[in-house]
Amino acid sequence: MTSEPSVEPCLPDTVNLADPDTFLEQDLTGFWRYLRTDRPVYRHPEIAPGKGFWVLSRHADLLTVYRDTEHFTSERGNLLDTLLSGGDSAGGRMLVVTDGERHRQLRRLLSPAFAPRALRVIVEHLHGAVRRLLREAIDAGTCDFATDVAARIPLATICDLLAVPDADRARVLELTTAAHGPQAALAIQDILLYFAGLARQRRDTPHADVVSLLAGGEVGGAPLTEDEIILNCYSLILGGNETTRLSMIGAVLAFAEAPAQWAALRDGDVAVAGAVEEILRWTSPTMYMGRTVVAEVVVNGTRLAPGDVVTLWNVSANHDEEVFARPGVFDLARAPNPHLTFGHGPHFCLGAYLTRVELTALLDGLRAAVGGIELRGEPVRISSTILTGYRSLPVALRPRAAGA
């Protein structure tokens, strides 16, 4: 039986969760374990005058806050950058930062496009695309799995959902990748401008896609504004691309580092469905979600005041020893696996089914075509305060023996 790796404690005074370099330079395993054990409702020091925030790290506390729409709101933002700078300008207009009845109606408008029946044709295309990309990677001998395979799967799927023309897809990939880098502001502006043009086209000549659904739909008895259409397209393409891509990259890295787990999956000793859930827990690509307190509330014995910013760290809750046996071990047979990678409650990820389908297609493709996975260079982490994972993963995918 694989044992958990030992970790050194990491005290809060040495950690700035608002600095992307923190996640590049430090292993925070010991930090999260310390918080869960000793300071589950932790007040992060101010990173500027008046800009401190609460950090929640336990699974049970995250469940409590995710469910509680009476005392917490998403409308002021769900990322530290916006929460600590006065709020999110998309609040009340973009699904992920909208609450109450308007959130319910907007989600009801979008949900049919993410239902299994609606996605059937897209899923068929997805499996074929995965097999083709894996064949190309195997034939090449070595590849950067992050850019040559993983970057091209979820984006193609989301572009199918939004009916982005084939000629525009390379540019959309470039912009979504840049939206989390040093040129983020310019990339985001270009994404918004692109979808503004697409939305105007679809109002006049609607297609069977999410952009047309938004352009022709109503919320609260009125059509969505152009800004609302654009913001929700932006949210879908960034959320649907980045998190799934990072989970895929993290999965292949975990297989390379835990060959016994890869062999168990390849040889059919563990179920693909369970493996998908462990990959989602293990990678936890969206590290946290933010909320703002709107009415005084007590969480795990600590009183939170209106206006307080609260961050819910999925990356810690998914390793909570009270919920997961040996959480520091990558175990594809783990069951049950109540991870919080998709959040919980009213804001549970709209694209959860699609992400699971994409990961299933990748695992099915790997099992059918790949015999072994070898690292061929140092993985390179992304720089972010919200997402975690790798932007480069050099590997060799060895072909599976004929008849295996």
Does residue 400 lie in a domain region?
A: no
- The larger pLDDT score, comparing residue 66 to residue 241, is at 66
Q: Give mean pLDDT, residues 123-144.
A: 95
Residue 252: is its pLDDT beyond 50? yes
5-9, 16-20, 47-51, 303-307: which range is least confident on average?
5-9
| pLDDT computed for residue 230 by the predictor | 86
33-42, 92-101, 116-125: which range is least confident on average?
116-125
- The larger pLDDT score, comparing residue 235 to residue 362, is at 362
- The larger pLDDT score, comparing residue 25 to residue 274, is at 274
Residue 54: is its pLDDT beyond 70? yes
Does residue 231 lie in a domain region?
A: yes
Alpha-carbon distance of 31 to 231, in angstroms, equals: 35
DSSP string for 29-60: HHHHHHHHHH-SEEEEPPSSTT--EEEE--HH
- The larger pLDDT score, comparing residue 23 to residue 5, is at 23
Q: For the chain, give the number of residues.
A: 404
User: Helix, strand, coil: what percent of the chain each, to 5?
Assistant: 50, 15, 35
Pairing mode of beta strands 72-73, 143-144: unpaired
Does residue 5 lie in a domain region?
A: no
Residue 242: is its pLDDT beyond 50? yes
Pairing mode of beta strands 309-313, 53-56: parallel
Residue with tokens 């307190």: 293
Q: Give mean pLDDT, residues 312-327.
A: 98
Does residue 279 lie in a domain region?
A: yes
Element (H, E) at 299: strand 297-299
Does residue 206 lie in a domain region?
A: yes
pLDDT digit string (tens) for 140-150?
A: 999 999 999 99
Burial of 52 from C-beta contacts in 10 A (0-12 / 13-18 / 19+)? middle
Alpha-carbon distance of 239 to 176, in angstroms, equals: 10
User: pTM for the full model?
Assistant: 0.93
Number of folded domains in the chain? 1
What range defines the domain where residue 255 resides? Answer: 12-393
| pLDDT computed for residue 144 by the predictor | 98
Q: Give mean pLDDT, residues 323-346.
A: 98
Residue 3: is its pLDDT beyond 70? no
Question: What value does the mean pLDDT of the chain take?
Answer: 91
Does residue 2 lie in a domain region?
A: no
Q: Give mean pLDDT, residues 170-195.
A: 79
CATH number for the domain that contains residue 55: 1.10.630.10
- Angle made by CA atoms 222, 227, 228, in degrees to the nearest 5: 55
Q: Give mean pLDDT, residues 131-160.
A: 93
| pLDDT computed for residue 1 by the predictor | 47
Are the beta carbons of 310 and 292 closer than 8 angstroms? yes
Q: Give mean pLDDT, residues 370-389.
A: 96
pLDDT digit string (tens) for 74-94?
A: 999 999 999 999 899 999 999
Does residue 173 lie in a domain region?
A: yes
| pLDDT computed for residue 171 by the predictor | 85
Does residue 401 lie in a domain region?
A: no
pLDDT digit string (tens) for 340-372?
A: 999 999 999 999 999 999 999 999 999 999 999
- The larger pLDDT score, comparing residue 239 to residue 56, is at 56
Residue 11: is its pLDDT beyond 60? yes
- The larger pLDDT score, comparing residue 56 to residue 189, is at 56
| pLDDT computed for residue 163 by the predictor | 84
pLDDT digit string (tens) for 261-317?
A: 999 999 999 999 999 999 999 999 999 999 999 999 999 999 999 999 999 999 999
Alpha-carbon distance of 312 to 298, in angstroms, equals: 15
